[in-house]
C-alpha cells in the first residue's frame, strides 16, 4: 500500500503519517526529515540542501528522486510507503510514477490535508520538538505542562526547525500554492485524489484518512 500525503507546511501530515505508519506498518518517508538528518550529520546531501531549505526553496529534483528510489529498495518497503513531502511538483509526481513502476509498484492513495493559511502560520512558527524523545509541542496550542520540561521524557532540551520562521513560512506557502497545489488536479484526473479537512482534530483527521483507505480497499 503506497500513499502520498500532501498539504501545506503545518497541515499535520507528519503527525498523520506517523499514525498511518503505526496502524498499517508502513515505512514513513519524510523527505524533509531525511534532509534535516543529513544536515545534522553534515553529509554532502545535508550541506547541499541546507541553504535552500533555510530559504524555504526546493532542493534539486535529482537529490530527492534518488532518495525516493533508494528508500523503495529497502526490503521493509514491501508492505508500503507513506510519501510525506514528495512529490512536490508535477515533475516529481511523474518521476515518482516512473520509479514505482520500474520497481513493479504503484500508488494506491493520494490524500491532501486542506487547511487555511491563517491557521498555518501559528502552527508552524509555534512548533518545537523535544531533543530527547522527539515529542512535538506548540507554543500556542500545545505547550509543555511545565515550562521548559518535556512531558514525556523530562528532557530540558528542545529544537526548532531552522525553516519555521515567519519569513520562511511565507516563502514555503508560496512554493506550495505555485508548485504543489496543481497535484490536486493531476491526481484527481487519475482517480486517486481524496481530501480531508485539516482543521479537524488529530484523531478526526486520522479517522477520515482511515475510512478513505478502508473504503477504497473494498471498491
Ligand atoms: P518538509 O519537512 O516537508 O516541510 O520539507 C522541508 C524542506 O525540505 C522544504 O521546504 C524543501 O526545502 C525541502 N524538501 C523536502 N522535500 C522536498 C521535495 N520533494 N522537493 C524539493 N525540496 C524538498
Residue nearest to atom 12 of ligand 1 (CA): 53
Catalytic residue list contains 172: yes
- What percentage of the chain carries pLDDT values higher than 90? 88
Residue 216 has what pLDDT? 73
Catalytic residue list contains 216: no
Residue 16 has what pLDDT? 95
The reply to whether ligand 1 has any atom less than 6 angstroms from the CB of 10 is: no
What is the pTM (predicted TM-score) of this model?
A: 0.90
Catalytic residue list contains 127: yes
Q: Share the mean pLDDT of the chain.
A: 94
The tens digit of pLDDT for each residue in 108-120 reads 999 999 998 888 8
Whether the predicted pLDDT of 68 surpasses 70:
yes
Residue 215 has what pLDDT? 84
Distance, in Å, from the CA atom of 63 to the CA atom of 211, rounded to the nearest integer, reads: 34
Amino acid at each position: 500500500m503506497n500513499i502520498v500525503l500532501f498539504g501545506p507546511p503545518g497541515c499535520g501530515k507528519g503527525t498523520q503519517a506517523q499514525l498511518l505508519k503505526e496502524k498499517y506498518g508502513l515505512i514513513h518517508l519524510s523527505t524533509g526529515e531525511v534532509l534535516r538528518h543529513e544536515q545534522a550529520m553534515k553529509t554532502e546531501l545535508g550541506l547541499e540542501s541546507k541553504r535552500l531549505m533555510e530559504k524555504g526553496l526546493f532542493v534539486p529534483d535529482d537529490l530527492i528522486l534518488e532518495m525516493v528510489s533508494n528508500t523503495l529498495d529497502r526490503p521493509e518497503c514491501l508492505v508500503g510507503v507513506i510519501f510525506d513531502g514528495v512529490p512536490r511538483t508535477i515533475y516529481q509526481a511523474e518521476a515518482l510514477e516512473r520509479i514505482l513502476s520500474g520497481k513493479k509498484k504503484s500508488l494506491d492513495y493520494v490524500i491532501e490535508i486542506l487547511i487555511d493559511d491563517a491557521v498555518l502560520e501559528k502552527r508552524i512558527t509555534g512548533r518545537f520538538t523535544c531533543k530527547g524523545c522527539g515529542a512535538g509541542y506548540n507554543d500556542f496550542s500545545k505547550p509543555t505542562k511545565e515550562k521548559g520540561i518535556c512531558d514525556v521524557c523530562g528532557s530540558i532540551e528542545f529544537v526548532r526547525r531552522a525553516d519555521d520562521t515567519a519569513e520562511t513560512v511565507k516563502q514555503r506557502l508560496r512554493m506550495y500554492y505555485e508548485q504543489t497545489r496543481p497535484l490536486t488536479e493531476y491526481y484527481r484526473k487519475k482517480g486517486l485524489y481524496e481530501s480531508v479537512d485539516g482543521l479537524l482534530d488529530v484523531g478526526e483527521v486520522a479517522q477520515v484518512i482511515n475510512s478513505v483507505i478502508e473504503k477504497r480497499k473494498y471498491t
